[in-house]
Amino acid sequence: MILGKPKPRRERPAPKRVSRGAWITAKAQAIVKRGPYCETCKTEYATDGHHCLIPFQKRYAEYLDHEINLELACHYDHMTGDLDTYEHRKEFYLRQVARYGKQAVDAWIESLPEKLKISHRLDFMEAK
């Protein structure tokens, strides 16, 4: 049996890598400012960072890896899914307003691309 020529291998572009340097810096700054404990249960050490107001999306990492969007969480609270509820996001927003001021938090949200603002419920911003 005679086989034909092998197909030439198609060059694949290198996968896009997201630099996590901004995320690591934001998490470290938050731990220094807020303390090392989980912001939800306040008893366990914060081992995880949770994108609270707007969940992480790889292509928008440079916008979302920000201290205002970061909640320090223990691994248990992060994995339960309780941090992803609308009520928790609203409560976190009010905590961030008390921490950074309403103008700073709202300015960060307004600086996001329109697609991110439309795709997530941000109506809790009018709560206070």
**Residue ranges per structural domain of the chain:** 21-122
Chain segment 66-85, per-residue pLDDT in tens: 899 999 999 999 999 899 99
Chain segment 13-28, per-residue pLDDT in tens: 665 555 677 778 888 8
Residues for the chain: how many in total?
Answer: 128
Q: Which two tokens stand for residue 21?
A: 């340097």
Q: Which long-range contacts (CB under 8 A, 24 or more apart) does 117-122 make?
A: 120/53, 120/54, 120/55, 121/86, 122/53
Q: Rounded to an integer, what distance in angstroms lies between the CA atom of residue 53 and that of residue 109? A: 9
Place of tokens 């939800």: 40
Other Cβ atoms closer than 10 A to 93 = 22
pTM to 2 decimal places: 0.77
Phi, psi of 102 (to 5 degrees): -60, -40
